[in-house]
Structure 1
């Protein structure tokens, strides 16, 4: 299970070879992703984020494949 810390803030979030967003904030162990403009609708649909007016979305830890020093990689099979 992924464990997020404040040091993960600012890391890109990737799925396969594509950057899908950035960790905007980590609060109480939950990472919040700011999706890249232009692919927002596709990412919302893929990750079941639904329609929200907020700029960031909580990242479900079960979707995380790995947290490295440079990025947060999501599982490609969802």
Structure 2
């Protein structure tokens, strides 16, 4: 899926392929999506998303990682 994000996606949960919440969409700016990660998210998931080890407040979500967008969540591909 080639994800197309809008301002309406702000506040949606971001979940992995198993349905576990990994964060929430903080903002959508010009198609760029910023995710506030769940504090308990594993470093291995952060690494797979290219979010590194830094303690950023929000991280960019690459739309290539998105499986689907529903009314209340963004689901990522299996990693």
TM-score w.r.t. the length of structure 1 is 0.89
Q: Answer whether contact 2:6 2:28 (CA < 8 A) is retained.
A: yes
Instruction: Name 1:11's counterpart in structure 2.
Output: 12
Q: C-alpha root-mean-square deviation of aligned residues, in Å?
A: 1.3
Superposed structure 1 runs of 4+ greater than 3 Å apart? none
Moved more, 64-73 or 52-61: 52-61
CA deviations on 1:15-70 (whole Å, 9 max, x unpaired) are: 12200000001011111111001115233122121133421000000000001111
5+ residue gaps in structure 2? none
TM-score (norm 2): 0.88
Task: Count matched residues.
Answer: 77
Deviation of 1:8 after TM superposition, in Å, equals 0.2
- When structure 1 is superposed on structure 2, of 33-42 and 53-62 the one drifting more is 33-42
